[in-house]
Structure 1
Amino acid sequence: MDPQGKVAVVSGGNSGLGEGGVKRLLADGATVVSLDVAGAAPEGAETIGCDVSDENSVKSAVDEVLDRHGRIDILLNNAGIGGISAIASEEGPGDMDLFRRIVGVNLIGATQVVAHVAHAMTKNAPSGPDGERGVIVNSCSIASFEGQEGMSAYTASKSALHALTLVWARDLGKYGIRVNGVAPGLMDTPMVAGLPEPMIEVLLQDNEFPRRAGRADEYADVVDFLIRTPLINAEVIRLDGGARPPARAKWATG
């Protein structure tokens, strides 16, 4: 699908990888609406306040996009949060409130956005030689493949989103809607900006090449490729410099 003249929704588009996606879609000539809980979208995009973990908030935001623009052609399903907690220790069970909060945003929230946006996409007129009605790109993670120690909730949410990419492609193919995903490794985003430098070095040591954090514009390049390439469907592409994280990371903060 050519983004030129299309209407794109980006969840979590006011910062980080989502912001990179917003900027690329704007440059490609799309009308872009960011659904986010805080902040403002890049210049040229619109922002609608939305808590993806609240289905009423998602429905209201999608309805507002449709009221403004009449349709949604592209969804970058990006909103997410992180957090670390072992499932149990000698001190007690893991933090189940944190688990529910992460899954509530990263999995339930992502699913609610797809449900409401994809429903709107089914009503679009076919576009292009293949008759596409919509394209959805999920932000997964390399934790979808190799979750590390302490990452129960994040791994559960991102692994499920990875698996659902195929299921949703099968659900929506009959309507001319494709679903793919991107699985970033360590990226230079606000989510990791506060990590100590020794931890960053350890997290990058398993990258084959290049041994650095990824950039939002590189993520946006992959999103753009998936949007524009009709034959790619139900795939999740790793963006991680060949990294295969170990079972646990050790670092010194002193």
Structure 2
Amino acid sequence: MDPSGKVAIVTGGNSGLGEGGIHRLLRAGASVVSLDLSGKPPPGADFVECDVSDEGSVKSAVKQVVDRYGEIHMLLNNAGIGGLAPIATAECPCNMDEFRKIIAVNLIGAAQVAAHVSHRMIGNAPSGTDGERGVIVNTCSIASFEGQEGMGAYTAAKAALAALTLVWARDLSRHGIRVNAVAPGFMDTPMVASLPPEFVDELISGNEFPKRAGTPDEYGAVAEFLIRTPLINGEVVRLDAGARPPARTQWAAGQ
């Protein structure tokens, strides 16, 4: 799908990877609406406040976008939160409220947005040679495949989102809607800005090449590629410089 002249929603678009995706789509000529809880979108993008974990908020936000623009053609399903905790320690079991919160945003939230946006996409007029009506790009993680110690809730959500990418592609193929995903490795975003430098150095050292953090613009470039390439469907593309995380980091083990 050519983004030019089309309408995109980017969840979590006011910072981090979502912001990188917005910049790419704006440069490609799309109208872009950021759904986020707070902050400001990049210049040139629209903004609708939305809590993706609340289905009522999602339904209202999607309706606002349709009321303003008429159609939705692209979704970067990006909103997410982090969190680290083992399933249990000698002192106590895992805080299941925190576990549920991560699942509610990263998995249920992504599903709610995909459901309401794809429902609207089905009503679009077919476009291009293949008659596409829409494209969804989920933001997964290398934790979808190699979750490290303490990443139970985050891994559960991102692994499920990776698995659902093919299922949703199959659900929506009859309507001319494709679904793919990007699985970033360590990226330079606000979510990891507070990590200790020695921890960051260890994480980057696991990259084969290049040994650096990824950037939001690189995420945006892959998302744009997936949007523009009709034959790619149901795929999860790793964006991790060849990293394969070990069970635990030396930094975490030393704490």
- Give the TM-score normalised by the residue count of structure 2: 0.98
Counterpart for residue 74 of structure 1 = 74
Shift in Å at residue 97 of structure 1?
1.0
| SS of structure 1 residue aligned to 2:237 | strand
| SS of structure 2 residue aligned to 1:88 | coil
Counterpart for residue 163 of structure 1 = 163
Letter in 2 for 1:204: I
Distance across 2 between alignment mates of 1:37 and 1:11: 9
Shift in Å at residue 103 of structure 1?
0.3
Distance across 1 between alignment mates of 2:163 and 2:95: 25
Counterpart for residue 229 of structure 1 = 229
Question: In angstroms, what is the RMSD of aligned CA positions?
Answer: 1.0
Distance across 1 between alignment mates of 2:29 and 2:2: 9
Distance across 2 between alignment mates of 1:23 and 1:203: 27
Identity of aligned residues (%): 69
Shift in Å at residue 251 of structure 1?
1.4
Letter in 2 for 1:123: G
Shift in Å at residue 203 of structure 1?
1.0
Counterpart for residue 38 of structure 1 = 38
Q: How many residues align?
A: 254
Letter in 2 for 1:18: G
Shift in Å at residue 202 of structure 1?
1.0
Distance across 2 between alignment mates of 1:98 and 1:205: 30
Counterpart for residue 57 of structure 1 = 57
Distance across 2 between alignment mates of 1:250 and 1:94: 22
Distance across 2 between alignment mates of 1:59 and 1:144: 27
Distance across 2 between alignment mates of 1:194 and 1:137: 27
Counterpart for residue 95 of structure 1 = 95
Which contiguous aligned blocks of 4+ residues in structure 1 show a shift greater than 2 angstroms? none
Letter in 1 for 2:176: G
Counterpart for residue 104 of structure 1 = 104
Structure 2 residue 152 is the aligned partner of structure 1 residue 152: yes
Shift in Å at residue 26 of structure 1?
0.4
Counterpart for residue 184 of structure 1 = 184
Shift in Å at residue 34 of structure 1?
0.3
- Give the TM-score normalised by the residue count of structure 1: 0.99
Shift in Å at residue 3 of structure 1?
0.1
Structure 2 residue 34 is the aligned partner of structure 1 residue 8: no
Residue deviations 1:183-219 (CA, integer Å, cap 9, x gap): 0000000000110000001111211000110001111
The gaps in structure 2 that reach 5 residues or longer are none
The gaps in structure 1 that reach 5 residues or longer are none
| SS of structure 1 residue aligned to 2:207 | coil
Distance across 2 between alignment mates of 1:146 and 1:52: 25
Letter in 2 for 1:190: P
